[in-house]
Amino acid sequence: MEEIAYMSVGHIVIDYIRKGELSYRSIGGAVTYGAIAALRYGVSPVIVSKVGVDFPEDYILLLSRYGIDVGYVKRIDKLSTVFELIYENGRRLYLRSLCDPIRPDDVPDVPVRSLHVGTVFHEVPLETVKKLRKLADIIAIDLQGYVRKTDDKGTVFIGKVQLDDIIGLVDIIHGDFSEVSAVCSGKTPVEAAEEFYNRYGKILLLTMGEEGSIVAYYDGLLRVPTYRVRAVNPTGAGDIYTAIFLLAFSEREDVIYSSALATAASSYRVEEISFKGIPTRDVMEKRAKEIMGRIKHIK
């Protein structure tokens, strides 16, 4: 059976976004941004997901028209995963409804080169990750969906968790400082990244918004500066970072260049509200060359 170049597994979501006077509904989720980034990078992506009866059919058609394989997106007789995002002195996030988990039998038995577990709220359980490990050459996960919790109003917050079993099955982990701090105790991003790598021995992509990122790997810690742009909408930037790093690294690019390319791709995203902010590979590469010279080993 022919290998899939890139597969993303997790919930496609409905996002209701409010930023100042601007308010709109959008398709969202790490799998969505990751798959579109992969497509723009030059590979054919596959999404494995579940959506509910309330999910707009035109969103599925949009992904299909982009060139993304949505044959493994199941519509079930439940509500979709829906978030409300309010950008006002930072970001407040609310979970309004949650679709069913993605189980092992929802995943096709096909070999995968690059696999992105793009969780948003506990929808890819351990038993599914175990199956994905058997299928994939390289797996990257987003911590966000594993460390999120909610209160009785649906407010999403980060809570301490134990994720040794899942982290032990994957190769690359992405999270921001609050998410990484949920699985280790470092008091600064550098301390957290160092502790994380020493404990797990896996590549860590610790993103810090306008402060860039720290990458922990087998040759130490890198500080990767951001590319300064006017941020219009940061939603999905971390998902794009993870997807592009994963794809570049799976093509045997080194960690430094993979980090620069991921930073370049995500910097274009924050400049635009729509998916058109995700650049093509040749555009990513031009900006990555500028970023490369400013990456430094800090440990």
pLDDT at 237: 83
Identify the pLDDT of residue 205. 98
* Consecutive H or E run containing 5: strand 4-9
Confidence band for 269, pLDDT divided at 50, 70 and 90: low
pLDDT in tens, 225-267: 987 654 445 567 889 999 999 999 999 889 999 999 999 998 7
Mean pLDDT confidence for 45-62: 97
Cα–Cα distance, 6 to 248 (Å, whole number) = 11
Q: Are 72 and 49 in contact (CB under 8 A)?
A: yes
Between CA 169 and CA 134 the distance in angstroms is 10
Strand order in the sheet with 91-97: 22-28, 13-19, 82-87, 91-97
Please write the tens of the pLDDT for every residue from 161-175.
Answer: 999 999 999 999 999
Return all residues near 251 (Cβ < 8 A) that are at least 6 apart: none
Q: What is the CATH number of domain 9-297?
A: 3.40.1190.20
What are the extents of the domains in the chain?
9-297
Nearest residue to 85 via CA among 30, 14, 155, 18: 18
Phi, psi at 293, each rounded to 5°: -70, -10
Buried b (16+ CB within 10 A) or exposed e, 123-142: bbeeebbebbeebbebbbbb
- What is the maximum span of the chain, computed from C-alpha positions, in angstroms? 51
Task: Choose the weakest-confidence range: 36-45, 92-101, 265-274.
Answer: 265-274
What is the structure's pLDDT at 234? Answer: 58
